[in-house]
Amino acid sequence: MKYKKKSTSTKTARQMRADEFTNVKDIKRYFLYTNDGYVIGYLQVSPLNLDLLPQEERKAKANRLAASFQSDKKDFVYMALFREIDLDGYKNMLKQKYRATDDIGKRHILEEMLLEGTELSVNGENFDHYHYIEIWKKIEGEKKEAEEEVRQRLEEFKQRFFEVGVNCRILHDAEIMKMCNLYGNPVQAPFDTIGDNLLYENIMKILN
């Protein structure tokens, strides 16, 4: 990701502050600002199960999306991040429902669901995947000009995906903070809705 830079300082990793290591200066509105003068925006792309589509439709979607990028020669980064899901609560809920019912059919369904949850945990497949596109611009003059160029490209990317039936959205500041936590610690990063509260503890510790 763009905001993790190499340091030319003689400081060791242990001596560096968190903001020096991550290169994050600020996160406001729809942008992340770096210490070395970049403004960055992010688009989250919703997953699409191509296996549910006929082969011809799958090929047509791919070709149409690829063609829409031919005139865009500027850099961008595609990222796939993951977060481990704790299934213990889910499995405990299934066990409680199983004990609370005498219906043979319901018990059979609950047994199958519990076995599936246990298998996911054992096989290490209990992960959510999140897909992002990162777009950036070096601030060389007015900051607003760089912000406008990044925002315009984000809108263009979003439209390209919408035209082939793929939902996506531009991340705002609170969602960028969530993504940064997900990037830094995918096992423990909380990903629940936090509303309008921007005091998102983990990432704010990095920024301060």
Q: What is the extent of the structural domain holding 155?
A: 18-82+130-207
Answer yes or no: do 106 and 203 share one domain: no
Answer yes or no: do 69 and 29 share one domain: yes
DSSP H/E element including 27: strand 24-28
DSSP H/E element including 22: helix 18-22
Answer yes or no: do 27 and 94 share one domain: no
Q: Is position 94 within any domain?
A: yes
Answer yes or no: do 68 and 144 share one domain: yes
Answer yes or no: do 116 and 100 share one domain: yes
- What number of other Cβ atoms are within 10 A of residue 110's Cβ? 20
Q: What is the CATH number of the domain that holds 162?
A: 3.30.70
Which residues are paired to 39 by β-bridges? 33, 137
* pLDDT for the residue numbered 153: 94
Q: How does pLDDT run across 63-100, given as a tens digit for each residue?
A: 998 898 888 878 899 988 877 777 778 788 888 988 88
Residue 181: name the closest of 173, 189, 192 by CA. Answer: 189
77: three-class secondary structure by DSSP = strand
Answer yes or no: do 95 and 119 share one domain: yes
Considering its fold, how many domains does the chain have in total? Answer: 2
Q: Is position 135 within any domain?
A: yes
Confidence category of residue 48, pLDDT binned at 50, 70, 90: confident
Q: Is position 4 within any domain?
A: no
Q: Considering 123, 144, 172, which residue would you say is the last residue of a domain?
A: 123
- The pTM of the full predicted model, rounded to 2 decimals, is 0.66
* C-alpha distances in Å from residue 140, one per residue of 22, 146, 151: 21, 8, 16
Q: How does pLDDT run across 8-43, given as a tens digit for each residue?
A: 455 665 555 655 667 888 999 999 999 999 999 999
* pLDDT for the residue numbered 208: 31
- What number of other Cβ atoms are within 10 A of residue 47's Cβ? 12
CB 166 within 8 A of CB 158: no
